[in-house]
Amino acid sequence: MNIGIDIGGTHIAIAVVEKSNIILQKEKVYNHDFKINLLNSLENFIKDTITDILQEYKIEKIGISIAGTIQDNVLLYSTNLGLKNIDFRKILEPYFNIPVTVNKDSFCAGRAEKEYGCLKGYDRNAIFLVIGTGIGGIRYLNGNIYRAGYGHMVIEKNGRQCKCGKKGCFETYASIKVLRDKIKEYLKVNDIDGKELYKYLLLNKENNEISRIVDNYIYDLCIGLTNIIDIDLPEIIGFGGSFSYYDDIFIDKIEETIVKNNLLFHKTKMPIFKMGKLKNDAGIIGATCY
């Protein structure tokens, strides 16, 4: 058995994994105190949780999935977490005497969905987008995986400020965080979690203002998607991250919006759109595939 760790923008999850099955999972949402010294909080939570796991399970390796730029298992920089030059392998391997790998979250989620989920069987040209706090992406071309910086392609000149330093990035218009912020603004609340957001959108489909917010969000999403489609011509685009939970709200609207607004240059190259089967577990499972 292996341990998968998914370090996200708002929470961390640690699980005991056997192939595509999660045997045990523990999560921690970042509260104010946790974020004061995020790296120290993450390190303590990881060490304490894995120490408990090792009392019950024999673990062969530890895989970490995290958003950011990774080189040789070192996190060079994570825009959404504000962390840079962190060597989790150096921190954890001597502590547990277990091999540790660190990979970008989109690589991990995409790998898991390719082996066990929505991309299985699509070997020629497939794209997987992780849409949550930000947007990450990978591309499978003839069976090989490639990093794809789709989240930071500019879709609006002089648009919204992105944490990466540029303006108008795809993720500043189409991340789930953007949609959540719009709904919070409309409801005049300080916060709304993912489950509450999904339930609210589902129950208020007929609300004109909610429909307008969702339609605008989907339109911005489709601007980015059609840029990707026109350039890469994928046979399928899979969606992971928290976005993948909104199947019955979003998936039909995507192709409908593209067609209605004539957004696609290659009209005959509309790909299949699928939500990830592994949902938010894809990162944890994929972290153990390396």
Average pLDDT for 199-210: 93
Average pLDDT for 90-110: 96
pLDDT over 70, % of the chain: 100
Q: What type of residue is 204? A: N
The answer to whether position 114 is within a domain reads: no
Q: Same structural domain for residues 135 and 193?
A: yes
Q: What angle do CA 109, 112, 114 make, to 5 degrees?
A: 105
- Look at residue 256 in the predicted model and tell me its pLDDT: 97
Say how far apart CA 235 and CA 193 lie, in whole Å: 33
Q: Same structural domain for residues 259 and 133?
A: yes
**pLDDT confidence of 40, banded at 50, 70, 90?**
very high
How many CB atoms sit inside 10 A of residue 108's CB?
A: 32
Q: Same structural domain for residues 76 and 125?
A: no
Average pLDDT for 108-116: 95
Alpha-carbon Rg for the chain in angstroms: 19
In this structure, the strands spanning 236-240 and 272-275 are: parallel
Q: Same structural domain for residues 38 and 145?
A: no
**pLDDT confidence of 42, banded at 50, 70, 90?**
very high
What 3-state DSSP class applies to 176? helix
Helix (H) or strand (E) holding 148: strand 144-148
Q: Same structural domain for residues 17 and 129?
A: no
- Which token pair is 44? 């303590």
Q: What angle do CA 33, 35, 41 make, to 5 degrees?
A: 85
pLDDT at 254 over 90: yes
Say how far apart CA 268 and CA 99 lie, in whole Å: 47
Task: Report which DSSP code applies to 271.
Answer: P
Q: Same structural domain for residues 219 and 272?
A: yes
Question: pLDDT (tens digit, 9 = 90+) per residue, 261-284?
Answer: 999 998 899 999 999 999 989 999
**Residue the block writes with tokens 């589902």:** 202
**pLDDT confidence of 34, banded at 50, 70, 90?**
very high
Q: Same structural domain for residues 32 and 124?
A: no
Most confident of 141-145, 192-196, 266-270, 274-278: 274-278
Q: Same structural domain for residues 59 and 126?
A: no
- Look at residue 9 in the predicted model and tell me its pLDDT: 83
The answer to whether position 115 is within a domain reads: no
Q: What angle do CA 224, 231, 249 make, to 5 degrees?
A: 35
**pLDDT confidence of 147, banded at 50, 70, 90?**
confident
End-to-end CA distance of the chain: 13
Q: Same structural domain for residues 91 and 125?
A: no
Sort residue 202 into left (φ over 0), alpha (ψ -120 to 50) or beta. alpha
**pLDDT confidence of 67, banded at 50, 70, 90?**
confident
Say how far apart CA 68 and CA 75 lie, in whole Å: 7
| Domain membership of residue 32 as a residue range | 2-108+282-287
pLDDT at 148 over 90: no
- Closest by CA to 197, choosing from 182, 216, 218, 217, is 182
**pLDDT confidence of 240, banded at 50, 70, 90?**
very high
**Residue the block writes with tokens 């390190």:** 43
The answer to whether position 101 is within a domain reads: yes
**pLDDT confidence of 3, banded at 50, 70, 90?**
very high
The answer to whether position 76 is within a domain reads: yes
Task: Report which DSSP code applies to 146.
Answer: E
How many CB atoms sit inside 10 A of residue 187's CB?
A: 13
* Domain CATH number, residue 163: 3.30.420.40
- Look at residue 143 in the predicted model and tell me its pLDDT: 84
Q: What angle do CA 147, 153, 154 make, to 5 degrees?
A: 175
Average pLDDT for 185-204: 91
Question: pLDDT (tens digit, 9 = 90+) per residue, 150-173?
Answer: 999 999 999 999 988 999 999 999
- Look at residue 210 in the predicted model and tell me its pLDDT: 95
The answer to whether position 144 is within a domain reads: yes
Question: pLDDT (tens digit, 9 = 90+) per residue, 220-230?
Answer: 999 999 999 99
Q: Same structural domain for residues 196 and 222?
A: yes
Q: How high does pLDDT run on average in the chain? A: 95
The answer to whether position 235 is within a domain reads: yes
**Residue the block writes with tokens 């719009």:** 182
Q: Same structural domain for residues 76 and 135?
A: no
Q: How many domains does the chain have?
A: 2
Q: Same structural domain for residues 98 and 196?
A: no
- Look at residue 266 in the predicted model and tell me its pLDDT: 87
